[in-house]
A and B are shown apart, each in its own frame.
Chain A
Amino acid sequence: MLRFLLRRFGLALATLFVLSVLVFAASQLLPGDIGRNVLGPFASPADVQRLDHELGVDRPVYVQYLDWVWKFIHGNLGTSLEYQVPVASLLGPSLINSLKLAAVAFALVVPLSIFGGVFAALRRGRLPDRVITLTGLSFTAVPEFISAIVLILIFGVLLSWLPVTAAYPADADFFTQVYYLLLPGMALVLVLFGYIARMARTGTIDALESDYTRTAFLKGLDTATVIRRHVLRNSLLPTIAVIATQMGYLIGGLVVIEKLFNYNGIGQRIYTAAVNKDFTMLQSGVLVIGLVYLIATLIADILYSLLNPRIRYAAAE
């Protein structure tokens, strides 16, 4: 198990290294001079050159990269070029906000879609199965900027049940925060339900058709026990992998949802940084998301291996 974990951890570090190189290279390729961008179009070339030197962006690219990584490792994310404040002071709250939204979305979508998928599998080919599968797929096919606006219009504007914004007041308690995050959470449920439920349904059907399930029934176990002990444990394995891969999307990819609900999440923060060419914010933000994503997949791997001994043994061999 330890060896498995070490291998996974090493792989995560290697991935992070590749990601850091890619992010840095990509931001170097973006058009525009940093000094020119900060000083504006009328600044003289000499002033632009002076600022570039002050910021250190006229040094060789590999020196800039090593300097950036070294500082990042030591917790120094740099200073935002646009706002002239430490990047961490802006990224930190945004990341926490994104994690909160992801948590609410997870709390809604995971039980709902697993229950839906398993229920559909147990009623395979019948009306509940068709309704769940078709509804889930239909919602997944609808772009989130459409489904989110429809939800805002229905629950926020027409019925006034939920706030139309996810930006809860600064002094909001836990329940108020959840209340504000329900509507964007519901929008994410619509996006993710179909996919996760489908995985859960497929996994359950496979497990139901397996020899060990048949054996369990034949030896006289009741349906509930068979499903709990034999079916679910095996059917949820691929579902966990799918859920883990959605972490990156839920943490850093919610630009549209964050925009529509005016939520200060890390996705919108990075998007704005890219538009405004705030390179320090952009680079650190993407790397932070990468870090969170890798941690999530690492946790998923551990969960996966705990549920499936074959993984542990295979890794240990």
Chain B
Amino acid sequence: MNREWREQVEGIRQRGPIERTLLDEYFDIRYDRREFIRRATVFGLSLSTIAMVLESCGTTNPTPKVGGRLKVGIIPPPAHTIEPHTFADQGALETGSIAGEHLIRTAAGLQLVPELATSWTPNSDASSWTVKLRSQVKFQTGQAMTADDVVATYNRLVDPNSGSQAISAFKGSLSPGGITKVDDLTVKFQLDAPTASFPYLLSSTTYQGIILPANYKLGSFTSTPQTTGAFKITSYTPGVGAKYDRYNDWWGGHAALDGVDVTYYSDAAAADSALIAGTIDLIGQIQLATDRSLFNNPKVQIFSAHGATHRQVPMRVDLNNPLKDSKVRQAIALTLDRPSIVKTLFTSYADIGNDTPWAPVYPSSVGAPDIAQRAQDLTKAKQLMSAAGFANGFSITLTTEQTGEIPQLAQIIQSSVKQIGIDMKLDILTATAYFDGSQTGPPSGWGNTPWLNAPINITDWGHRAVPNVFLTAALETGGVWNAAHYSSPEFDAAAKGFIGAISLSDQKKFSKQAETILLADTPVIFPYFYYYLAAGSKSVKGYYGDPQGNVFLSHTSLG
């Protein structure tokens, strides 16, 4: 049965990214058959395929092979100390996620799955949330997890003086003093403003929110195993690797793997060849731009997770240059041939963007026909340029970073806007230089960092389970990462309404308002939202990509 089951499922997975993503989501979060059918039909799977999946999955999943150590490659190494509340880079979050757990897990498909919390209940207007904790959870130090630990963890996350990198996620929702213990297994979160999607902020999407003991000593994460996860970290060498052993008192049972050996790679080609040669079993995150050799390799399986990772092209609305005119910004957006860009840069592993942060993966995204998809229209773009008084074009410099496919995107934009007479120069910096400098945020300004002060730029943004951070940080008046320096009271009101809306219909009402405003103003171009991608050898079973980039291995096995 197992072999037959695997062959059937693998056959369907191999048909394409949509089939693969749907199946991975189905197995990862175990959502019910009805939800699977709904999603499968939305994405256009044939009825025979749906029937085959349901038939083949009608029984329990195959029993994983117990034992063995999974060898994981992480690109690049963590840039700083491994301190969960300060996680800001891919290497650190992947390293932490192997050992750590959150209150809630955001699984593929943006479904919330209980992890260390068993339930989360709002009051009538979602301004206060009561979270029940799982009982019988023990930290790897042996002490029981209680509400005190959760309160301490979240106090650190919202403390502006702790170095927390989750401040931007909680801004406007949760402040110091807002977290209180109700009883040993109950925590209350009193919010600054109603936030219907608050459980997402408590989930693994806020990857800094790994629950640690109340007596956690800063700087001891890698030297003392003290998380609640299925694996405990036993050694860590900066820039080289980390080792983890199975935690036998894990609340979730017995993980299949004996342990995990992480090797850090600075170079994607080195990690790719190591995977193909069998030196490692899994690479935590890959990109089409840098890891093309893995795609279509018969020894490799690609894990994709439908997400909202994207690039933003903000255009300063407050400088005395042509970009100040919304007609010019619209014209630039209209020069882009988005389907072609996606095909060139991501083959089929991305969704087309519509210059709003509502990625197609979000249920609150309105989409066509109510919000039309922006398409290339050079005639209209030229008309807009003429109407703005720039029929002969102008010169501008686009500043960006040497990250992934971004330089290629910059070149595509450069050649696209040339068609309407814009002479665009590119200033491509290293990521370090691009994000260098201060960015203290309003009211004292956006500091001097290039990424928040260049007239037009391209910046990489990670996935979020809900678009709230994109709204509050990148687009709202005074947002800490508002690189366009955009300010619109109408948009602010719509965004605030969206964040507080509880029902999906209310959320869509506000997102439609906000999307309409953004399309008219076009402070930021969102060209695409691409899928999270990981790669593994064919022997890796039970692994599913997390759109945030976390590496969750508690249900993974080697065969």
Contact = CB atoms under 8 A, between A and B. Distances in A.
B46 interface: no
Contact of B81 (A32, A84, A152, A264): A84
A31 interface: yes
B263 A262 contact: yes
Interface stretch (B57-65, B178-186, B430-438): B430-438
A262 B439 CA distance: 34
Contact of B239 (A41, A42, A45, A264): A264
A259 B165 contact: no
A21 interface: no
Nearest to B278: A160
A41 B438 contact: yes
Nearest to A156: B277
A246 interface: no
A47 B81 contact: no
A45 B440 contact: yes
Interface stretch (A1-9, A113-121, A270-278): A270-278
A221 interface: no
B430 A275 contact: yes
B398 to A, nearest CB: 21
Contacts of A45: 438, 440
Interface string B351-389: 000000000000000000000000000000000000000
B238 A90 contact: yes
Given A41-B449, A47-B161, A260-B269, A165 B238 contact: no
Q: Is the interface of A mostly helix, strand, loop or mixed?
A: loop
Given A82-B80, A264-B239, A31 B271 contact: no
A81 B38 CA distance: 51
A260 B267 contact: yes
Interface string A17-42: 00000000000000110001001111
Contact of A42 (B265, B279, B437, B480): B480
Contacts of B437: 32, 36, 41
Contacts of A93: 237
Contacts of B86: 40
Interface string B259-293: 00001111101110110110100000000000000
B279 to A, nearest CB: 5
B163 A40 contact: yes
A103 interface: no
A15 B193 CA distance: 64
A261 interface: yes
Interface in A262-294: 262, 264, 268-269, 272, 275-277
A153 interface: yes
B265 A41 contact: no
B152 interface: no
Contact of A31 (B88, B270, B436): B436
Given A36-B438, A275-B430, A276-B79, A262 B239 contact: no
A64 B240 CA distance: 30
Interface string A121-153: 000000000000000000000000000010011
A164 B274 contact: yes
A40 B432 contact: no
A167 interface: yes
A180 to B, nearest CB: 10
Given A47-B161, A84-B81, A40 B88 contact: yes
A154 B237 CA distance: 31
A43 B267 CA distance: 31
A304 B96 CA distance: 53
A264 B77 CA distance: 12
Interface in A158-196: 160, 163-165, 167
B270 A260 contact: yes
10 smallest A-B Cβ distances: which pairs? A259-B267, A83-B238, A41-B439, A164-B277, A262-B270, A164-B273, A264-B240, A259-B266, A152-B273, A84-B81
15 contacts: A32-B437, A40-B165, A41-B439, A42-B160, A42-B439, A43-B163, A80-B238, A82-B238, A149-B269, A160-B277, A164-B274, A259-B270, A260-B267, A262-B274, A276-B432
Interface of B: 77, 79-81, 86, 88, 160-161, 163, 165, 167, 219, 237-241, 263-267, 269-271, 273-274, 276-277, 279, 430, 432-433, 435-441, 447, 449, 480
